[in-house]
A and B are shown apart, each in its own frame.
Chain A
Amino acid sequence: MSRALAQLLARVLAVLALCAVLALLSDVFLTRGNIVNVLRQTSLLFFLASGLTLVVLTAGLDLSVGANISLAACVAGTAMKATGEPLLGAALGLGIGAAVGLCNGLMVALLRIPSFIATYGMLWVLQGAAYAYMAGQPVYGFPRAFRLIGVGTVGGIPVPILLMAAVLALGSVFTARTIWGQQIYAIGANATAARLSGVPVKRRLILVYLLSGATTGLAALIFLARLNSAEADIGGELTLPAIAAVLIGGASLFGGVGSLFGTFIGALLLTLVLNGMNLLEVDARWQPFVTGAIILAAVWIDMRTGRMFAARAEKGG
């Protein structure tokens, strides 16, 4: 068993432990309705965090995802509202998301601006654009056909959960089983070594930011469909939770470590905390405290597992 696998197991166990506690404290926690509810809420955070995971694997960061959601959702929403065309809206949402990702990738790969700065600057530009575009008014009421990707079900399972499963499966295969995926890990582990061993670092970096932008665009569409409305700061408060999900999921900001499944666990943990606080009716003032404490506990458990495993490996176990 590798160290990363041990840590992943520890993380899954931590989530299960949290579930056990919540099940003891609230008799509705383990109902089918609530489980579906939690998974559907997890999916929104997961889409955002999935592309971000790839960026973090390359030792980068994408701070623009929240603002990217805002702009993509607002433009797609207004276009759909004006034309009634779900496909046009979907194309615009994905297109804007991906185009922003491409810009980030070009800034990072070609202009060599550190990703933190490039995407932080981008955050402000996108947020400003969304503010100017919406002028303080929300847009709402989208075609029923479009809303199905947010509120529809297939075989009793909500569409967002199915989409999450698909992105998780495809993304896991992509990162773990394809050459491009391996190259992304290699860039994060050591960019110079990767370049010397023939990895087209610049092109892969651009690809990674492009994918992050595209999944953000997808997240924007599902948000639109779920909420049936968009306003200029719809995504503003989602960036930090998305990054937190990736990092709680075991990815390192120094790159080369992490997985999409880990990110899913991270997103699930954060969603469970909120769900649990609502079910247990934790006082509003203490909710940020509880969230912060659980984030710390999660990374601490992670760290301890890693240490224990390393110690046993040293002993020859």
Chain B
Amino acid sequence: MSAASLAARTPGAAFMLGVLAVGFAAATPGFASLPNLVNVLLQSSVLLLIALPMTLVIMTEGLDLSVGAVLTLASVVLALVATASGSVTLAILAGLAVGFSCGAVNGWLVAGLDLPPFVATLGTLGMVQGVALAASGGQSVVGLPPTLLVWYGGHVAMLPLPIVIVALAYTAMHVLLYRTSFGSHVFALGGNREALAFAGIRYRGTLAAVYALNGLMAGFAAILFTARLDAGHPTAGIGTEFDAIAAVAVGGTSFERGNGWLPGTVLGVLTIGVLRNGLNLLAVPSSLHVACIGVLVILAFVIEGAKGTAP
């Protein structure tokens, strides 16, 4: 098989990831070491938990701009409950409940009230952010029980716990999307909504569930996030939504046809993670980082496009 035909069969994000990885490995000695690769995976874990369900939201021709704020609020509540009660279990349940409730409200606004997702979640973004600021008094919540830190720093059978959690989350999402009727409804929601209604399927429930799932996963991400920070901070997760959306886009999920590709999202998150890590190791100025991410997002699409038209 020639190099050209191999290249044509590789997804755009995989290609970018490969090029970047080889390039960084050649350019900087620290990059290809095992500790650094684990480092990249760990850094990407929170974003992965956010970006995986975001893929589903985008497949329904929707968007969730509030997820960064939800991650923040869940983290703040988790930290508040943990410091007040001393119980990590209770705190985690509270964080998950916050994530799920916010997601359910988004689902109700979008599927129940038929509000456009972009505006609806922009509205909840502000509200959730406000609650996070008010609940924390605008300050970091610290003094967490040390057992909570295990969620980011711990290991299971030599593997760092966040990586195990992300692997489990991926497996669950993969099964949900590709092996269940829920998943096929999600696929149909993007661009084929009438057919669903015609077939007598109550798609509103599915649509609401997608947003609720997104919120719930933000709750899970908040566990790792809070453990990583050893604190709940009222603005720390702001902007995560756009990182997640960028990762989904780099991974090849289309905003227009409702074509989603879950493995692509993993590749998208890792591509952005590797890029940032490599540029840091190379000590590239921060302003160039910013520009590189932009070029990457556009290039990923151009490469996908070039593949589509390749002979």
Does A248 belong to the interface (CB within 8 Å)? yes
Closest to A122 in B: B294
Q: How far is B290's CA from A114's CA once the two chains are assembled, in angstroms?
A: 21
Does B178 belong to the interface (CB within 8 Å)? no
Residues of A bordering B, CB below 8 Å: 107, 111-114, 116-118, 120-129, 131-132, 240, 243-244, 247-248, 252-253, 284-293, 295-296, 299-300, 303
Q: How far is B133's CA from A243's CA once the two chains are assembled, in angstroms?
A: 24
Residue contact A285 to B133, C-beta cutoff 8 Å? yes
Chain B residues with CB under 8 Å of A129's CB are 287, 291
Residue contact B295 to A121, C-beta cutoff 8 Å? yes
Contact flag A303-B305 (CB < 8 Å), given A247-B119, A286-B130, A292-B129: no
Chain A residues with CB under 8 Å of B289's CB are 128
Contact flag A131-B290 (CB < 8 Å), given A114-B255, A288-B127, A289-B134: yes
Chain A residues with CB under 8 Å of B305's CB are 111-113
Q: How far is B123's CA from A129's CA once the two chains are assembled, in angstroms?
A: 31
Residue contact A253 to B138, C-beta cutoff 8 Å? no
Residue contact B301 to A299, C-beta cutoff 8 Å? no
Q: How far is B121's CA from A253's CA once the two chains are assembled, in angstroms?
A: 14
Residue contact A296 to B134, C-beta cutoff 8 Å? no
Chain A residues with CB under 8 Å of B295's CB are 121, 124-125
Residue contact B126 to A289, C-beta cutoff 8 Å? yes
A interface: dominant SS? helix
Number of cross-chain contacts by CB at 8 Å: 141
Chain B residues with CB under 8 Å of A127's CB are 290-291, 294
Q: Which of B185-218 contact A (CB under 8 A)?
A: none
Residue contact B115 to A300, C-beta cutoff 8 Å? yes
Chain A residues with CB under 8 Å of B301's CB are 111, 113-114, 117-118
Q: How far is B115's CA from A248's CA once the two chains are assembled, in angstroms?
A: 11
Partner of B113, one of A111, A117, A300: A300
29 A–B contacts from the bound complex (CB under 8 Å): A111-B305, A113-B301, A114-B256, A117-B255, A117-B301, A120-B246, A121-B296, A122-B298, A124-B294, A124-B297, A125-B295, A125-B298, A128-B289, A128-B292, A129-B291, A132-B285, A132-B291, A244-B122, A247-B119, A253-B118, A285-B130, A291-B126, A292-B124, A292-B128, A296-B120, A299-B115, A299-B116, A299-B123, A303-B113
Chain A residues with CB under 8 Å of B287's CB are 128-129, 131-132
